[in-house]
Amino acid sequence: MTGELPVAIINYVFLSSVIFFIGVAGVLLRRNPLIILMSIELMWNAANLLFLSFAKAWANNAGQIFAFLVITVAAAEAAIGLAIVVTVFRAAKNVDVDDVRSLQG
């Protein structure tokens, strides 16, 4: 027997896809590095929502464990991303990802 979701699983898939696409649009369209990082957080959380709804649907908490791992990785990513933003843009006058070339190698 599987878990009983509040609504059908397809609704969660739709919702997660919509939020993920909003995050993708933010990463591609914005030029402020902080808003880009926040859009990446939106995408992490859309994936997490899907993990948790499938974990509930199949009554298997491996999905919850994986969502826990994803939260950790997202926290590490935010910390390192913000450190890079601070390091790169502390010296620059303008905060615009299109103008940054110092990480191209």
Partner 1 sequence: MIPLNPAGIGFLGMSLVLVLSAVWTVTGRKPVYSVIGLLVHFSALAAMYITLSAEFLGVVQIIVYSGAILVLFLFVIALLSSGVAPFSLGPNRMPWATIPAAALVFVTCIITIVAVGRIPSGAPTTPIANAVGVAGTANAFGSVADFGKALFTVHLLPFEITAFILMVAVIGVILLAGDQTPYMPSRRREMQVRRDAREAILRGGEE
**Binding to partner 1, residues 17-46 (CB under 8 A):** 17-26, 28-32, 34-35, 37-39, 41-42, 45
Q: In sequence order, which residues have a C-beta less than 8 Å from that of residue 47 and are 6 or more positions away?
A: 16, 20, 70
102 is a contact residue toward partner 1 (CB under 8 A) = no
Which class for 53: exposed (0-12), middle (13-18), buried (19 or more C-beta within 10 A)?
Answer: buried
**Contact residue for partner 1 among 40, 47, 84, 103 (CB under 8 A):** 84
| In the complex, least distance from residue 100 CB atom to partner 1, rounded to whole angstroms | 12
- Figure out which of the listed residues 47, 89, 101, 105 binds partner 1, where binding follows CB under 8 A: 89
Query: Smallest gap, in angstroms, from Cβ of residue 19 to partner 1?
Result: 5
Q: Which are the contacts of 36, defined by CB distance < 8 A and separation ≥ 6?
A: 26, 27, 30, 97
75, 101, 102, 105: which one contacts partner 1 (CB under 8 A)?
A: 75
Q: Which two tokens stand for residue 30?
A: 């914005």
